[in-house]
Amino acid sequence: MNPLLPNHYREILLGIGENPEREGLLDTPKRAAKAMQYLCNGYEKSLQEVVNGALFSSESDEMVIVKDVELYSLCEHHLLPFIGKAHVAYIPTGKVLGLSKIARIVDMYARRLQIQENLTRQIASAIEEVTQAAGVAVVIEAQHMCMMMRGVEKQNSVMSTSVMLGAFRESYNTRHEFLQLIGRSK
């Protein structure tokens, strides 16, 4: 852990008018620093490390979908969480990606200070790069604490973002099939 991080959290406590010496806060700067490092551990990972060679030959050229991959990220504007799920699809062209690697790619990018729009694009681009797929689609639906806990305080708002690459962008039928399979199109 960066040794300066707990000191910065101590200063934050002082800055909001708290007493970092009171019983309940004695270890808070150290705990908060450890939590922030964990929540931002995506910076320590690379796409190659996450995939770890889990790309397998396959004759399948049909859509592969992983739905409801939960994600937890921090808004880069307020350092508050946004929590949601990603739906990821790709159309293989000779190689398929190990199933858990899709969730790990989502986590790697989500565990960085982010905005949801960029997170969606990063996941789609990474899947495309690794698989050389004919198309990639990513939809993320998330609730943002910066909207719920402060500012406009809208408790039931959900932000949806999508990125469609290759066949998902070019073909209405392919895009529609994906959206229908994830329950987003009637």
Q: Is 40 annotated as a binding-site member?
A: no
The residues, any chain, with a CB within 8 Å of residue 37's CB and separated by 6 or more, are 1, 2, 5
**In degrees rounded to 5, what are phi and psi of residue 143?**
-105, 135
75 carries an active-site annotation: yes
CB-CB contact of 89 with 140 (8 Å): no
* Catalytic residue, candidates 75, 114, 122, 128: 75
d(Cα 130, Cα 96) in Å, to the nearest integer?
A: 9
Catalytic annotation, pick one of 78, 132, 143, 177: 78
- Identify whether 77 is a catalytic site residue: yes
Q: Is 75 annotated as a binding residue?
A: yes
Does the annotation count 40 as an active-site position? Answer: no
Catalytic residue among 44, 49, 70, 76: 76
The Cα 62–Cα 133 span in angstroms is 11
Check if the beta carbon of residue 159 is closer than 8 Å to that of residue 83: no
**Has 116 been annotated as catalytic?**
yes
Among 11, 44, 70, 77, which one carries the catalytic annotation? 77
One of 114, 116, 122, 141 is an active-site residue; which one?
116
176 in a known ligand binding site: no
Q: Which residues are annotated as a binding site?
A: 75, 78, 146
Catalytic residue list: 75-78, 116, 144, 146
Q: Which residues are annotated as a binding site for Zn(2+)?
A: 75, 78, 146
